[in-house]
Amino acid sequence: MSTEPDLSTPESTPRKSFPLLLVLVPLVLLVLTVGGALVLARFGNPLTLMPLVTVTDPQLAQLSPNVLKSRAAKARTTLERVRPQGLYIVVDTYRNRLRLVEDGKVVREALCSTGTGIVLIDPRNKRKWVFDTPLGERIIERKQKNPVWMKPDWAFIEEGEEPPPPGSPDRVDPYSLGDYGLYMGDGYIIHGTLFKSLLGRRVTHGCIRLGDEDLEYLYHHVPIGTRVYLY
């Protein structure tokens, strides 16, 4: 036999339900009223948390238009003076873009690859290499057609191999740098790549890789001594 009460009988209904309803009804109305006001404020009329206040510098407000034009002209002159002149290269390591600029105008833009930032440690002596593209200013120190890469120790350690003696033929790699190399000093080169599908990514050991056409264009249009700005 079931011991559950028969909910259809009057005896099963609590006798004190009316006071509870008297509490719940105002509460529901309050929630609906406040909620409706918030929704209206958010989606109906703009909800202004802080009024927009325009602040004017009294000294600037008193300047005449001619004085303001004069100051603007001086500012432009200053910017022109500090901006690089002639031909230069800009490397954006964040977006992996290289731009060739002449007198402030971009004449060539290329997808490139830059350093990974990975740290490699030699397990034998704890020597450390950081594969970052250097930031700052450099110059094209020399150019080379069909450059040959003399593989450093880290190129072998990275592959889990023992580095050969200095000058060993095993260090000679005539293929990895592509058809042209523009040398910026300290082993950093703008060169080609065998892995063109990886252009636009941070995959290098610090050098800057370009596609074949962009690299050839730079080689023929960038003279030795051209400044390179990396950021």
Residues annotated as catalytic are 191, 207
Environment class of 43 (CB within 10 Å of its CB; exposed 0-12, middle 13-18, buried 19+): exposed
Query: Which residue in 145, 123, 134, 132 sits closest to 203, CA to CA?
Result: 132
Question: Among residues 153, 149, 151, 150, which one has the least CA distance to residue 121?
Answer: 153
- Rounded-to-integer distance, Cα 69 and Cα 87, Å: 30
Q: Are 177 and 149 in contact (CB under 8 A)?
A: yes
At 64, list the tokens.
Answer: 């005449």
Torsions phi, psi for 167 (to 5 deg): 85, 0
**207, 93 contact by CB (below 8 A):** no
Rounded CA separation 87/77 (Å): 19
Map tokens 């250097």 to a residue: 134
**How many Cβ atoms sit within 10 Å of the Cβ of residue 208?**
26
Type of residue found at 4: E
User: Rounded distance, CA 120 to CA 112, Å?
Assistant: 23
